[in-house]
């Protein structure tokens, strides 16, 4: 019998599995399809960002910053354990304003962050172009030097390898149906094929699909938000994260850059659309005009797990069962800190983060 049975082999489930296994627990991960491009973790831009946008609450802002900082040790450790180049780089992020209104919003964002003691500054148009020489003429910008980037597909692949090396049982091609309970506590998982798997703890980390499981205590609390992403190739990629109205650019080290993303409430509709591509490309070229000559290499979509208050569901749902999902736009930056939270709760320690704002049982606004 596993000490911990994790439903979902995305960034959240795998980071949790690896961390639990490092603490000596016997862990099994149940994953329908570890290579799915529609799982959010494989679709993501890989921004380890806490500062580019405002958050729904102070608790969420602090969690994202903590998540970003946690990667400074988690990702190098993962790279060392697997020999993988995760393309983890603290490149900083430049958010660009083209109008007085954008600029006023950036001043508010930077002031709120500086009041928390975070590093952020407003830059003039000329300073913005010093930071990113390919940038078009703009009104002004905001610079966040601590923001980082990673290649999420490499992170997921490395986590799979690290988990296997640590003795985690990764069961792919299996679909969990229900968290089983007996005597008031979770006892395991029922699979769609009728098999029952017993476990000391069950962790629900199924991303946007978590809501379709029974017995989780979070039924109806998540919905998928589709995000479309483009991959461009050009000899000149930005040297940092760049965001402007309608798009962000997340650079890679090999001439690729990811342009994202849409936020679409369309259920699990797996289509990519001409409208989204047009909107993202126009916004990207407005930021960096030379991208008009870039090659359009790929276009995909993934499904973010979203709650109605924009905060994740983190914590116990019953004795022996935990939710670790609902990370919406922030699941890559929050993967390592979520793994720490899951591990603390499973091993009977106190969470490194105050979890009341993220309690799975909280009442969510009506959708």
Ligand X SMILES: Cc1cc2nc3c(=O)[nH]c(=O)nc-3n(C[C@H](O)[C@H](O)[C@H](O)COP(=O)(O)OP(=O)(O)OC[C@H]3O[C@@H](n4cnc5c(N)ncnc54)[C@H](O)[C@@H]3O)c2cc1C
Q: Which residues bind ligand X (CB under 6 A)?
A: 7-13, 30-33, 36, 39-41, 43-47, 175-176, 205-209, 213, 227, 229, 260-261, 302, 304-305, 325, 327-333
Q: Which is nearer to ligand X, 93 or 128 (CB)?
A: 93
Q: How far is the CB of 172 from ligand X (least distance, A)?
A: 9
Say how many C-beta atoms besides its own lie within 10 A of residue 12's C-beta.
33
Contact 93, 240 (CB under 8 A): yes
Q: Which is nearer to ligand X, 226 or 285 (CB)?
A: 226
Q: Which is nearer to ligand X, 140 or 238 (CB)?
A: 238
Q: Which is nearer to ligand X, 256 or 327 (CB)?
A: 327
Residues contacting residue 53 through CB under 8 Å, at least 6 positions apart: 109
Q: How far is the CB of 56 from ligand X (least distance, A)?
A: 14
Spatial separation of the C-alpha atoms in residues 343 and 339, rounded to whole Å: 6
Q: Which is nearer to ligand X, 122 or 230 (CB)?
A: 230
Q: How far is the CB of 150 from ligand X (least distance, A)?
A: 9
Q: Which is nearer to ligand X, 118 or 127 (CB)?
A: 118
Spatial separation of the C-alpha atoms in residues 299 and 228, rounded to whole Å: 7
Q: How far is the CB of 61 from ligand X (least distance, A)?
A: 14
345 membership: H or E segment, kind and range: helix 335-346
Q: How far is the CB of 187 from ligand X (least distance, A)?
A: 17
Residue 258: phi and psi, rounded to 5, are -100, 135
* Angle, CA 201 vertex, CA 181 and CA 225 arms, to 5°: 85
Q: Which is nearer to ligand X, 103 or 222 (CB)?
A: 222
* Torsion angle in degrees (nearest 10) through CA of 273, 279, 285, 286: 180
Contact 330, 307 (CB under 8 A): no
DSSP classification of residue 351: P
Contact 208, 9 (CB under 8 A): no
Q: Which two tokens stand for residue 54?
A: 């405002």
Q: How far is the CB of 100 from ligand X (least distance, A)?
A: 28
Q: Where are the beta strands (DSSP E) in the chain?
A: 2-7, 27-31, 47-48, 93-97, 121-124, 140-144, 148-149, 169-172, 176-182, 185-191, 196-204, 223-233, 241-244, 247-251, 256-260, 295-306, 313-318, 321-325
Residue 130: phi and psi, rounded to 5, are -65, -40
Q: How far is the CB of 93 from ligand X (least distance, A)?
A: 11
Q: How far is the CB of 258 from ligand X (least distance, A)?
A: 8
Q: Which is nearer to ligand X, 49 or 113 (CB)?
A: 49
Cis amide leading into 261 (omega within 30) = yes
Q: Which is nearer to ligand X, 78 or 103 (CB)?
A: 78
């Amino acid at each position: 019998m596993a000490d911990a049975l994790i439903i979902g082999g995305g960034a959240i489930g795998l980071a949790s599995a690896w961390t639990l296994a490092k603490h000596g627990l016997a862990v099994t991960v149940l994953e329908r399809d570890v290579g799915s491009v529609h799982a959010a973790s494989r679709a993501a831009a890989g921004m380890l960002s806490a500062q580019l946008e405002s958050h729904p609450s102070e608790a969420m802002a602090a969690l994202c910053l903590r998540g970003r900082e946690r990667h400074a040790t988690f990702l190098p450790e993962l790279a060392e354990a697997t020999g993988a180049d995760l393309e983890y780089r603290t490149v900083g992020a430049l958010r660009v304003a083209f109008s007085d209104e954008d600029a006023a919003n950036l001043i508010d964002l930077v002031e709120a962050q500086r009041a928390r003691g975070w590093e952020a500054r407003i830059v003039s148009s000329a300073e913005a172009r010093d930071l990113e020489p390919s940038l078009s003429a703009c009104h002004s910008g905001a610079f966040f030097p601590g923001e980082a980037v990673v290649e999420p597909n490499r992170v997921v692949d490395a986590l799979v390898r690290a988990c296997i090396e640590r003795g985690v049982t990764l069961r792919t091609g299996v679909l969990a149906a229900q968290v089983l309970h007996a005597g008031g506590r979770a006892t395991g998982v029922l699979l769609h094929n009728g098999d029952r798997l017993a476990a000391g703890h069950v962790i629900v980390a199924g991303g946007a699909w978590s809501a379709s499981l029974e017995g989780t205590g979070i039924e109806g609390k998540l919905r998928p938000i589709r995000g479309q992403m483009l991959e461009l190739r050009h000899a000149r990629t930005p040297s940092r994260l760049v965001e402007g109205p309608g798009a962000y650019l997340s650079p890679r080290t090999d001439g690729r850059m990811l342009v994202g993303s849409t936020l679409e409430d369309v259920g699990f509709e797996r289509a990519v659309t001409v409208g989204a591509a047009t909107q993202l490309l126009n916004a990207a070229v407005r930021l960096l005009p030379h991208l008009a000559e870039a090659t359009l290499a790929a276009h995909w979509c993934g499904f973010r797990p979203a709650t109605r208050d924009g905060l994740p569901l983190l914590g116990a749902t019953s004795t022996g069962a935990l939710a670790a999902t609902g990370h919406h736009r922030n699941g890559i930056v929050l993967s390592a800190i979520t793994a720490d939270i899951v591990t603390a709760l499973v091993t009977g320690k106190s969470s490194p983060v105050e979890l009341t704002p993220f309690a799975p049982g909280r009442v969510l606004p009506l959708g």
